[in-house]
Structure 1
Amino acid sequence: MTKKYSKFLPSIAEDFSLENFPYYWVTQVHAQYIQNVDHALKKYGLDNSRRRILLSLKSKPHASVSDLSEMVISKMSTTTKIVYRLKDEGLVETYSCEDDARITRVVLTDKGQQMTNKINDLTNVVLEQSFEGLTPLQIEKMMESLKYIFRNLAH
């Protein structure tokens, strides 16, 4: 391990403070974001897991359950349960892929499309709150850094 990162690592720095550990802040921000989003979604009877699937389908219509699982970084069994819960709620429909019947594809219903619009309205409020005091350039730089870190961790 090189010394250039030692102040950020709990096992190396003698005077380590949890507030110097970058993943402490990543998890704190994520947990607070989820808490705020869940609170906002409660009025529609939704939670963050279902929100993530619905918004993934909005960006990739007719995705397979496997695609959705990768997009939301969730186990296939968990994603399948969420998809069928959404189907029971009338927000999505499923069908077998014409080319390979083993693949289940998922599509938003009209009710699901309407719900994604409501979700976006609610989450925009949370996003505006979270980015208050930051410039668009600061947000872009943060996203660039997070994408870079993600790529490092993903391989």
Structure 2
Amino acid sequence: MTKKYSKFLPSTEDFNIEQFPYYWVTQVHAQYVLNVDHALKKYGLDNSRRRILIALKAKPNASVSDLSDMVVSKMSTTTKIVYRLKEEGLVETYSCEDDARITRVILTDQGHAMTEKINDLTGVVLEQSFEGLTPLQIEKMMDSLRHIFNNLSR
């Protein structure tokens, strides 16, 4: 380990948890999920199902494997969520024409309507979370997070 990053690590003698970058990443994520879950309760949804629905909105006809990658979830967990959404009438599934082993997922009309409601609710949470930041600051933060993600994905 180089000294360049030592002040950010819990191994230093004078360590302050607030200097550990992943402390803030997890704190922000946990608070965001709490706020989103609270807002989604009125629709009987939770953050896990929201993530799948929004991923499907971004990538229609995605496979369960694609969705699993997009939401960074185990395939078995994603499959359970997809079939729960199917029971709720928000998605449909079908076997891929080219490879029957692949299950593709699409939003139903009810699912599309729900993504609009979700976007409205999460928009409020997003505005709350970014209050006092400029769009440029948000873009720079996203660039930094993307860079860190790519470093960790190697």
Question: What range describes the TM-score normalised by the shorter chain of this pair?
Answer: over 0.9
> Displaced runs of 4+ in structure 1, greater than 6 A?
none
**How far 1:20 sits from its partner (Å)?**
0.3
**SS of corresponding position for 2:94:** strand
Which letter maps to 1:66?
S
**SS of corresponding position for 1:15:** coil
**1:117-136 pair list within 5 angstroms:** 117-136=116-135
Q: Deviations over 1:99-131 (max 9, x none)?
A: 000000000000000000000000000000000
Structure 2: give runs of 5+ residues left out of the alignment: none
**How far 1:38 sits from its partner (Å)?**
0.2
Partner of 1:98: 97
**How far 1:41 sits from its partner (Å)?**
0.2
Which letter maps to 1:10?
P
2:3 is aligned with 1:9: no
Q: Alignment length, in residue pairs?
A: 154
Q: Deviations over 1:11-37 (max 9, x none)?
A: 1x2100000000000000000000000
Partner of 2:28: 29
**RMSD, matched Cα:** 0.4
Partner of 1:113: 112
Structure 1: give runs of 5+ residues left out of the alignment: none
Give TM-score scaled by structure 2 length: 0.99
2:64 is aligned with 1:65: yes
Partner of 1:53: 52
Q: Matched residues, percent identical?
A: 84
Give TM-score scaled by structure 1 length: 0.99
